[in-house]
A and B are shown apart, each in its own frame.
Chain A
Amino acid sequence: MAVDAFAETLAAAQAGDESAFTTLFRALNPAVVRYLTVLCGSMGGSTMAEDLAGETWIAALRTFATFEGDERALRSWLLTIARARWVDAVRASARRPELVTDTTPDARAPDDVEAQVEIGFTTDWALSVIATLPPDQAEVVTLRVVGQLDVPEVAALTGKTDNHVRVLTHRGLKRLAKLLGEQGLLAAQQKQL
């Protein structure tokens, strides 16, 4: 969304225009839901992510009328709230009694990667692959790719240093490349460089 168009849409939404708010919601909610989907992982799946996204919007709307900033700042603000809601959910689930079961969680098998490459990537599948990364790497990769935040913004959101964010991002991307069968390409490039 262009800067001027975003400013007008934000002002209209803050004045109570529902169509303007719908435009903002459709532009920003996918990043929120996808980020929460990766964070939740196998904890609650997309259902939990959508619930937390709803809580995120409710929390944001309480002070939405006084928000000032561009689209990037609004997205970063929403993702920060989403992370706080996810932390609350994790703490709440930790207080609940653990359910012991014999069935294994519904995790995607690594064999599916090659088959999916042949079929083509979908957003849900891409997110599920990113979610297989270690949590720190999955989070920073998602924030950088899906949230479109730069390194300092991700560092501020996650409470990490800029260097740590860079390292985690690169490690995550390398791991994804290997997972996608591109480890040979990665090794060749590293030799060339």
Chain B
Amino acid sequence: MSVTPAPEPTGLEAQLDRLIQSAAAPQTSGSSALPRLEALLAAAAAPDAGPQPGELEALASFRELVVGTGSRAVGSLAAHRRRRQLAVVAITSTVVALGGGVAAAASGSLPGAAQSTAKSMLGALGVHVPGPNQHAGTHPDERGKSGQSHGNPAPSASEPSQADEPVAPTHPAHPTTPASSRPTAGNSGTSRHHGNPTPASTTHPTPQHGKPAAPPAVAHTHITTHATRIHHIRIHPMHERVMRAQD
């Protein structure tokens, strides 16, 4: 790429340049070659240090935009303090709320689902939090279950192997009722929940939000009934053979 060199100024152009410089600095003026042009340029560049048009408006803008910057800085300092106070209040509120939540979770006084969530979350942080049914004793949370299972014994509750080890009651509402020490199934008649006192729900709460670990007793009953029917079906041919033999 070729670069075109700047043209050398001719004598006239150099003189014009001097004219411009003399107009900018009148004390260097002395060229008489073009006196009118020189006078014209000097008049155009004549200093005018007196009051200017629009000076009051410019001063007002100066007060607003430049001088006002200091007062705005003071205002922003106050706003900064206000924001800091709000931040402190917000942080304090958050800490109190979290602390209260943790304390409630640690005491096991949260609702079942919240207690289970708190256990899983705080357990990951190494904080021991009881499960939703740990203090339930004979009152495990059965949220989400239909009412037809109430009163039916769970199979695990009828297993004496786990029930042989009585667990000290911890529920303050039943200080003398070791529910888990009664491994036998059946309705106690005192509560509709007492039919499913699974050991798992008293000592090792399941992560199923209060649902008993064992399958519903209703299903077991159905199976039993069905097996009975099959038994009856099988009996019939034998009965027929016996009857044939007797015949």
Contacts and interface: CB of A to CB of B under 8 A. Distances in A.
Interface of A: 13-14, 16, 18, 21-22, 25-27, 29-30, 33-34, 50, 53-54, 57-58, 61-62, 64-65, 117, 121-123, 125-127, 129-130, 142, 144-146, 148, 162-163, 166, 169-170, 173-174, 176-177, 180-182, 185-186, 189-190, 193
Main secondary structure of the interface of B (DSSP, over half): helix
B144 interface: no
A190 B12 contact: yes
B46 A123 contact: yes
Nearest to B19: A173
Contacts of B12: 170, 174, 186, 189-190, 193
A36 B44 CA distance: 13
Contacts of B67: 16, 18
Contacts of B49: 26-27
A186 B211 CA distance: 110
B43 A182 contact: no
Nearest to B65: A61
Interface string B45-65: 111111111110111011101
Interface residues of B, number: 47
A18 B37 contact: no
Contacts of A162: 6
Given A18-B62, A26-B55, A121-B43, 15 more contacts: A13-B62, A21-B59, A33-B53, A53-B54, A62-B65, A123-B43, A125-B43, A145-B20, A145-B24, A145-B44, A177-B34, A181-B36, A182-B37, A190-B12, A193-B10
Interface of B: 4, 6-7, 9-13, 15-16, 19-20, 23-24, 33-37, 39-55, 57-59, 61-63, 65-67, 69-70
Interface of A is mostly: helix
A173 B17 CA distance: 9
Nearest to B7: A163
Contacts of B16: 169-170, 173-174
B61 A127 contact: no
Given A30-B47, A121-B43, A144-B20, A65 B34 contact: no
A71 B58 CA distance: 19
A117 B53 CA distance: 27
A180 B49 CA distance: 28
B25 to A, nearest CB: 9
A14 B66 contact: yes
